[in-house]
Chain A
């Protein structure tokens, strides 16, 4: 499941922030912020994507760098949320 989430995230970031220039996709643990890929307003697009695409709800306390700041962090965050959702559901 991790791989699928990771790929979908990479595709979104590549299309939405890099306009198809997938060569510029950073390493999984590199900071999207420091690489200049996502800015403080662009992060809200990312949150909207997570909510729409993965059907999760991102709480305010969860908008931390560990969860949203890198492809790796995002993958783990989405996986844990969807897993939690399945458990509840």
Chain B
């Protein structure tokens, strides 16, 4: 697990070694164990290394035997052992035991087809110096990040935006449409980011830059069978197959590492299953890590303790208070590199710090289960709305709304008639996004606070629906909702702002068995009713692991992971930095939010202390605070020289200046 970066210039002087060195330095947290730089007349590749597999031999950038093909690689190919054997049979010779070298030979042997064979999580750059061709690739669902900025003959790429920003020549500004997407979907939709001129490679895509120009295309896409044509209809058979694949996925993620692997335990069913599988099916000693809250509303300690007792694992936990969230929040936004509408990433940053402080570099988590196996409330919402839309006049159908959100302190059952109006908005049975409209509408309420100038630029509004695959109208409605979720929130928020960025911010790699290639491909061809049975979420998963997870955890109503929002900042005196970044001057400099409504919002937060703040007010406050922090950190502040020292030892292979050194 690592950080990657580089610059390729097809026409012009060689890439600036100083610049790439600074880019590497800004990715230090992703790879504190060492760094590397390769440069020739057209390309410079940089790397920071978190040594996990072949900790002695796997330094990067790494090349093929004749040093014509170079790679900078972030991630893991979990089936690298099997692929390596296949490649050896084809005559390839290996110098290291690393999965990175397998990628190089796989590219030589299979070209772009190699990506379809990888089961893993990656972002990588391959430079073919003979062909003068750069290839970028990203894993299927976007576990690992990859950003770039380009014109026709030059491209700069990096694991994080802050490394691209090491170039003082790069214009720094927000992209209004990117902000609009975040304030609708909670995240941008790749390739867009919130920064003008900075793109991200879409998950499941390959991009190529060579003398023929720049092009990109998918090697894989999220796909579902037409409704009622799903190949396996027997629920027992499907449960058995799901179990087999998940056990293998969790096992691979535990044993394919040369350093010990820990496991997150949230108290929910997903992480309980991954931890239980490891305890049952591997010899590895199990060390679990949990997040607790001083605030009882968010705490899941009872369920975590139940599972710890069940597993007999060595266990660590951290208890997070609202003040902890406020304290760490600026650093959190420095890593999310996008506005966030919840504080939820912050406690995860503190959790990965706990993991690191216990000497672990790798954790397995339950992330992805909700998207892949139908766990989210939004899927239940979609089903209720679709059920209702088919007979809108029904006196009883709308009562189904009251079944939603039993966990919420202020749930629709409290004001049921009003909730019916809320969930009854835009009720159109033919709408492919029927599941997501209420969320998008309530999130969009934040945009009423935007500055008039910015609002003037947002005439059309974002449109992810038009990108849905042709043929998706024949899918089950659950599949369409899953596609939307896997295209927006999963890569853009869950796996990045709550995932990679919070983990790598503390030099910890996350591994996600539920996002295993074999698991996802099976899950996507299951009948929808096996995933969401009536309103019972992750139905098949509960059946498949009935014996490994206690009833208390299997049958508890799903509690979405949340943390205190407005209350984190306003329970006492708001932190000084918050007052600073939300000052009228700072707001005017960013130009995103209008000062008057922000002043009103802050006054309300100060008055109430954030106690029982509504959903929209929480999103408003977080949008303002995180956007303003981001503006200060990435638009105004160019970064200091102290950010920019690459981690030692640093290996340099510079063919322009004829240098080969390690220092």
Contacts and interface: CB of A to CB of B under 8 A. Distances in A.
A64 B420 CA distance: 9
Given A44-B612, A44-B614, 14 more contacts: A16-B604, A19-B597, A19-B600, A20-B596, A33-B422, A34-B425, A40-B423, A40-B442, A41-B616, A43-B415, A45-B612, A60-B415, A65-B417, A65-B421
Of the four ranges (under 10, 10 to 19, 20 to 34, 35 or more), the interface on chain B belongs to 20 to 34
Interface in B599-626: 599-601, 603-604, 612, 614-617
Interface stretch (B178-186, B339-347, B444-452): B444-452
B410 A44 contact: yes
Interface in B383-414: 410, 412, 414
Interface of B: 410, 412, 414-423, 425, 441-442, 444-445, 448-449, 596-601, 603-604, 612, 614-617
A47 B417 CA distance: 13
Contact of B421 (A18, A45, A60, A69): A69
B600 A36 contact: no
A33 B421 contact: yes
A47 B415 CA distance: 9
A44 B411 CA distance: 10
A42 to B, nearest CB: 4
Given A19-B600, A19-B604, A20-B600, A39 B614 contact: yes
Given A19-B596, A19-B601, A36 B445 contact: yes
Contacts of B612: 44-45
A63 B416 contact: yes
Interface in A41-85: 41-45, 47, 60, 63-65, 68-69
B614 A41 contact: yes
Main secondary structure of the interface of A (DSSP, over half): loop
A24 B415 contact: no
A16 B445 CA distance: 14
A15 B600 contact: yes
A21 interface: yes
A18 B615 contact: no
B287 to A, nearest CB: 38
Contacts of A44: 410, 414-415, 612, 614
A19 B445 contact: no
A41 B615 CA distance: 6
- Rank and list the top 5 A-B pairs by shortest CB-CB distance, nearest first: A19-B600, A42-B614, A19-B597, A41-B614, A64-B417
Contact of B597 (A21, A34, A47): A21
Name the residue among B419, B421, B423, B441 with the largest chain A CB count within 10 angstroms.
B421
13 contacts: A20-B599, A21-B600, A31-B421, A33-B418, A37-B445, A39-B442, A40-B419, A41-B410, A42-B614, A42-B615, A65-B418, A68-B418, A69-B418
B180 to A, nearest CB: 15
Contacts of A16: 604
Contacts of B617: 42
Contacts of B614: 39, 41-42, 44-45
A45 B605 CA distance: 13
Nearest to B603: A19
A40 B418 contact: yes
